[in-house]
Amino acid sequence: MKVPDLFQIQDHMRSLFELFYPETCCCCKARLNEKECFICLKCDITIPRTFFDDEPNNSLEKKLWGRIPFQRVWAMFHLTSGGKVQELLYQIKYMNKYELGLFMGERMGKNLKKMNWINEIDMIIPVPLHRKRLLKRGYNQCEALGSGISNMLEIPLRTSVLRRNMYNKSQTNYKKARRWKNVEGIFRLAHPEMIKGKHVLLIDDVVTTGSTLEACTDELMKGEHVKVSIATMACAGGL
């Protein structure tokens, strides 16, 4: 009798595992087919996209005018309360879904690759987490997104440039004024020499009031001849 080889055994084990523990859509929990990854096609086509693409002076840029000295600002999705984007962000941030963050970062990278201004970017910098929250969560969701973008654009990711030097409470339920107070002075430019004369792409998961991005950009602009652009997975409509 022919003995099955190792690859056949692995295929059988994988099929058996998928039978009892099928991969499901992160948004609606429907079973994914073999061509789908993390999100089913039905959910994917209904996720609210911004379509900012290469549009200068898009609505997100206008809402940050006068607050952040940016070159360009872009977000992939609109965030709505209780919607699919909120569920994706929640799973990336709180449900140990690093791979989902990497996947969404790669999707962001594919979109950014089409934009003319992205060719000016020298490095990618994620909004940092404090070490306490990093130990608790296991990873930085913004770094996961940044890694995916870096993979697609072949632009280096730099995680040591910007540091979070104070532990602050979650901003989820804070209003605009208190959000700014909560992040004021908590970031530190650790290696200004690394960004001297560079155009950096700052990565965050979601823009709500913009206070976190404002605080990060304030620190980055302490570098010599630095330009900052911003990319986020989502932006809240009430920014």
Least confident of 30-34, 51-55, 137-141: 51-55
Segment 224-230 shows an average pLDDT of 98
Please tell me whether residues 113 and 23 are part of one structural domain: no
Provide the CATH number for the domain around residue 191: 3.40.50.2020
Beta bridge pairs of residue 84: none
Please tell me whether residues 138 and 97 are part of one structural domain: yes
Task: Give kind and range of the element (H or E) at residue 94.
Answer: helix 84-94
Please tell me whether residues 78 and 160 are part of one structural domain: yes
Calculate the alpha carbon distances from 161 to 49, 69, 145 in Å.
Answer: 31, 19, 17
Please tell me whether residues 7 and 116 are part of one structural domain: no
Structural domains in the chain (count): 2
pTM of the model: 0.86
Please tell me whether residues 39 and 52 are part of one structural domain: no
Domain span at 28 = 1-46
Contact 174, 134 (CB under 8 A): no
Q: What is the pLDDT of residues 68-118, one digit of tens each?
A: 999 999 999 999 999 999 999 999 999 999 999 999 999 999 999 999 999
Residue 10: predicted pLDDT: 55
Please tell me whether residues 86 and 11 are part of one structural domain: no
Please tell me whether residues 103 and 207 are part of one structural domain: yes
